[in-house]
């Protein structure tokens, strides 16, 4: 997974350098490179039941993007992000934080109805890079890989190695390159798979990612 991240960043860097080294071509291919950093408010759907309470996991998203203007009011923006997701489940005096970290590759279409303001939407492919659970009770805590936890508990369950999502968001861009954005990511695939991913009554428990993100970026001119 590290090789994927490095390869993609080298591709982004290479395309940006190619644009900068050819001024005449740059006007015909308006590709710009940017960096972004943001806050995630993440949750997992269908993890609550009558004996527990669920709250979001607060995390981060960070990475880079290419901004390609395809028309006066349209742009494409592929991104490469590290994003921390999951949620928190508490039952009595036990709190479990599900920590699911991904390398995400969104491909966003951006429409500009007014100067600086944009509406964005597009798919996102994500690959899991860390899948842990942190349990806390009576002042003590322990952290374990989720697949190892399922195996030790003799459960037929595993964390899905990738996810597919749909993104919807709004943004505003300043002339100096600084930009602000808000985005919602709706997970389309099951986070956990296996015969034992069920509710206490035996019915299938379909758990998916659900993430609100808010961020700030800078596009290099």
Beta strands in 92-189 (DSSP E): 94-114, 117-137, 140-145, 158-159, 162-173, 178-187
More confident residue, 58 or 14: 58
Q: Which residues pair with 100 in a beta bridge?
A: 85, 131
- Kindly tell me if the per-residue pLDDT of 67 is higher than 90: yes
At 29 the pLDDT is 54
- List phi, psi (to 5°) of 199: -75, 170
Please check the confidence at residue 13 and state whether its pLDDT lies above 70: no
pLDDT band at 3 (very low <50, low <70, confident <90, very high): low
Q: Is the pLDDT score of 8 beyond 60?
A: no
Mean pLDDT, rounded, for 208-214: 97
Q: For residue 149, what are its two tokens?
A: 């936890």
In the chain the domains, ranked by start, together with CATH numbers, are: 2-219 (2.40.160.20)
| pLDDT at site 30 | 83
The answer, yes or no, to whether residue 18 has pLDDT greater than 60, is no
């Amino acid at each position: 997974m590290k090789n994927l991240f490095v390869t993609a960043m080298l591709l982004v860097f290479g395309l940006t350098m190619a644009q900068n080294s050819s001024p005449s071509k740059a006007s015909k291919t308006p590709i710009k490179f940017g960096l972004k950093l943001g806050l995630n408010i993440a949750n997992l759907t269908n993890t609550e039941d009558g004996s527990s309470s669920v709250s979001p996991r607060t995390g981060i998203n960070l990475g880079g993007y290419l901004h390609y203007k395809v028309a006066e009011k349209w742009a494409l923006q592929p991104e490469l992000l590290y994003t921390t997701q999951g949620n928190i489940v508490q039952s009595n005096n036990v709190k479990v934080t599900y920590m699911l970290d991904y390398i995400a590759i969104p491909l966003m279409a951006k429409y500009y109805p007014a100067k600086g303001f944009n509406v964005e939407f597009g798919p996102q492919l994500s690959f899991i890079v860390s899948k842990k659970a942190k349990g806390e009770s009576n002042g003590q805590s322990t952290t374990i890989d989720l697949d190892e936890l399922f195996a030790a508990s003799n459960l037929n369950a595993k964390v899905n190695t990738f996810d597919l999502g749909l993104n919807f968001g709004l943004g505003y861009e300043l002339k100096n390159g600084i930009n602000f954005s808000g985005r919602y990511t709706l997970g389309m695939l099951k986070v956990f798979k296996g015969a034992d991913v069920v509710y206490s009554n035996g019915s299938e428990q379909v758990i998916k990612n659900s993430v609100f993100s808010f961020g700030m970026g800078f596009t290099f001119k």
